[in-house]
Amino acid sequence: MAEVTLTINGLQVTVPQGSTILEAAEKAGFFIPTFCHDPELSKPASCRICVVEVEGAKNLTVSCATAARDGMVIQTDSPAVIEARKTILELLLANHPEDCLTCGRNGDCRLQDYAYMYGLRAGGFDGERHSYELEEENPFIVRDMNKCILCGKCVRVCAEVQGNNVVDFAYRGFNAKVTTAMDVPLSESECVFCGNCVAFCPTGALQEKRLRRSARTWEVKKVKTTCPYCGTGCNFDLNVKDGKVVGVTSCEGDVNGRALCVKGRFGYGFIHHPDRLTKPLIKKDGKFEEATWDEAVSLVAKELGRIKKDHGPGALAVLSSARCTNEENYLMQKFTRAVLGTNNIDHCARL
Amino acid sequence: MSGVTLTINGQHVTVPPGSTILDAAEKLGIFIPTLCHEPSLPGVASCRICVVEVGGGKKLIPSCMTAAKDGMVVETESEAVVEARRTILELLLSNHPMDCLTCEKNGDCRLQDYAFMYGVKGPAFEGKHHDYPIEDDNPYIVRDMNKCILCGKCVRTCAQVEGREVIDYAYRGFDTKVTPAMDVSLGESDCVFCGRCVALCPVGALTWKPLAGKGRAWEFNKEEVTCTFCESGCAFDLVKKDHRVVGVEPKAPAPGKPLCLKGRLGLELLYGDEPEPPKLKEDGTFVTVSWARALGLEDVLQKMKEVEDK
Name all domains of chain B by residue range, CATH numbers in brackets. 4-77 (3.10.20.740), 220-276 (2.20.25), 277-310 (no CATH)
- Tell which of A86, A90, A92, A101 to mutate to test the B interface (max B CBs under 10 Å): A101
Residue B151 has φ and ψ, to the nearest 5°, of -70, -25
- Rounded Cα gap, residues B109 and B115, in angstroms: 10
CA distance A348 to chain B (A): 42
Q: Helices A79-93 and A110-117: crossing angle, nearest 10°?
A: 130
CATH code, A266: 2.20.25.90
A101 interaction partners in chain B (CB closer than 8 Å): 93, 98, 100, 112, 115-116, 121-122
pTM: 0.90
- Rounded Cα gap, residues B66 and B57, in angstroms: 13
- The answer to whether residue A289 sits within a structural domain is yes
- Inter-chain residue contact A119 with B107, CB threshold 8 Å: no
Predicted confidence at residue A164, as pLDDT, reads: 96
Of B116, B119, B121, the CB nearest to A216: B116
Asked if the model's pLDDT at residue A14 lies above 90, the reply is: yes
- Rounded Cα gap, residues B241 and B215, in angstroms: 8
Of A99, A107, A120, the CB nearest to B102: A120
A328-349 average pLDDT score: 93
B122 interaction partners in chain A (CB closer than 8 Å): 99, 101-102
How many residue contacts between A and B have a Cβ separation below 8 Å? Answer: 56
- Inter-chain residue contact A98 with B98, CB threshold 8 Å: yes
- The answer to whether residue A199 sits within a structural domain is no
B218 interaction partners in chain A (CB closer than 8 Å): 107, 217-218
- Rounded Cα gap, residues B240 and B223, in angstroms: 8
Predicted confidence at residue B56, as pLDDT, reads: 66
- Inter-chain residue contact A115 with B101, CB threshold 8 Å: yes
Predicted confidence at residue A351, as pLDDT, reads: 62
Confidence of residue B1 (pLDDT cuts 50, 70, 90): low
- The answer to whether residue A265 sits within a structural domain is yes
Q: Which residue of B has its CA nearest to A116?
A: B102
Three-state DSSP class for residue A224? strand
Predicted confidence at residue A348, as pLDDT, reads: 83
Answer positive or negative: Cα dihedral of B228, B229, B230, B235: negative
A10-18, long-range: CB within 8 Å, 24+ apart, which pairs?
A15/A68, A17/A67, A18/A67
B235-263 average pLDDT score: 89
Distance, CA of B144 to chain centre: 14
Distance, CA of B123 to chain centre: 23
Last residue of a domain, one of A77, A109, A124: A77
pLDDT tens-digit profile of B259-273? Answer: 889 889 999 999 988
CA distance B99 to chain A (A): 7
Q: Which residue of B has its CA nearest to A219?
A: B218
pLDDT tens-digit profile of B170-229? Answer: 999 999 999 999 999 999 999 999 999 999 999 999 999 999 999 999 999 999 999 988
Number of domains within chain A? 3
The residue range of the domain holding A269 is: 220-276
- The answer to whether residue A22 sits within a structural domain is yes
Residue type, B198: V
User: What whole-number percentage of chain B has pLDDT above 70?
Assistant: 99
Pairing of strands B141-143, B167-170: unpaired
A112 interaction partners in chain B (CB closer than 8 Å): 101-102
- Rounded Cα gap, residues A100 and A199, in angstroms: 19
- Rounded Cα gap, residues B117 and B101, in angstroms: 19
A230 and A259 share one domain: yes
Core vs surface per residue A92-112: b (16+ CB within 10 A) or e: bbebbbbbbbbbbbbbbbbbb
With CA atoms as reference, report the closest residue to B268 among B280, B260, B276, B258. B276
Q: Which residue of A has its CA nearest to B97?
A: A98
Asked if the model's pLDDT at residue B91 lies above 90, the reply is: yes
- Rounded Cα gap, residues A49 and A202, in angstroms: 13
ipTM for the complex? 0.88
- Rounded Cα gap, residues A92 and A272, in angstroms: 40
What residues have CB less than 8 Å from A121, skipping those under 6 apart?
A115, B99, B101, B102
CATH code, A60: 3.10.20.740
- Rounded Cα gap, residues B210 and B272, in angstroms: 12
